[in-house]
Amino acid sequence: MRNYELETKQRTAFIRGLVESAGAAGIVYGNSGGKDSALVGILCKMACDNTVGLIMPCGSKRNYGMDKEDAEKIAGQYGISTRLIDLSEARNNLINVLGEKITLNDAAIANIAPRLRMSALYAAAASENRLVAGTGNRSEAYMGYFTKWGDGAHDFNPIADLTVTEIYEYLRFLKAPDFIIAKAPSAGLFDGQTDESEMGISYKSIDDFLLDGKIDEHDRTIIEKFHARSAHKRKMPVAYGA
């Protein structure tokens, strides 16, 4: 297990240094009510008092219920400012406009919400001289379980090297409430969606592979498939002549 007391000192110093070197006035991040955003919010608030979390419901019913409530509770416990920005109408309008010219598939529709949230975060950042904090973890990144130019877009990410297993350990160290730790990981893209059911593998299996190299052949096949087909997400765009 990591030394999370030392980790906290190092990560908050990292965040503070970035804000100062950028001449930024503060930080903005997406407060989804999940484990990753909770940890990012806590660390950013420790490093920079002017941290705000945007709660951005966008389509699914759980965005307006459990996710919103959990986001408000975790922010309240750690003194983090929040703002509610409802993106559902923007999502519906965009789907309708695109649908006139494009036959949208399920993947395209699901990725609209993360990209609208990214737009909202960068609008706040540009308007208020803030840096955008990312909320993705190492396990998701390895599997490619994020939206390119959506939740994968940020100015910095203070938890990018942590697996889901380590995220939970860190939250326990920081005395995060049980409702965050016990909650099934979900991007909240549609009702009933969970990360593990969508990928067909548990985060424990992914993390056992990443941390210890332990894996059975069935799970190895799933992990290798996800990792290979998402390679483009972990690279900068290809530029001619570069």
The whole-number pLDDT of residue 242 equals 73
pLDDT-derived band at 23, boundaries 50, 70, 90 = very high
Interval 119-163: pLDDT, tens: 999 999 999 999 999 999 999 999 999 999 999 999 999 999 999
Name 156's bridge partners: 133
pLDDT at 195: 79
Give one word for 107, left, alpha or beta, with left for phi > 0 and alpha for psi -120 to 50.
alpha
Q: Say what the pLDDT of residue 189 is.
A: 60
All domains in the chain, ordered by first residue: 4-234 (3.40.50.620)
% of the chain surpassing 90 pLDDT: 86
Predicted TM-score (pTM) of the model is: 0.93
Q: What's residue 202's pLDDT?
A: 93
The span from the CA of 207 to the CA of 177, in Å, is 23
pLDDT digits (tens, 9 = 90+) for 51-104: 999 999 997 777 778 899 999 999 999 999 999 999 999 999 999 999 999 999
Average pLDDT of the residues of the chain: 94
pLDDT of residue 192: 63
| pLDDT of the residue at 65 | 82
What pLDDT shows up at residue 184?
A: 75
Instruction: Quickly state the pLDDT bin for 112 (edges 50, 70, 90).
Output: very high
pLDDT value, residue 52: 98
Say how many CA atoms lie within 13 Å of 128 toward its Cβ: 16
b (16+ CB within 10 A) / e for 221-238: ebbeebeeebeeeeeeee
Cα–Cα distance between 142 and 104 in angstroms, integer? 27
**pLDDT band at 186; cut points 50, 70, 90:** low
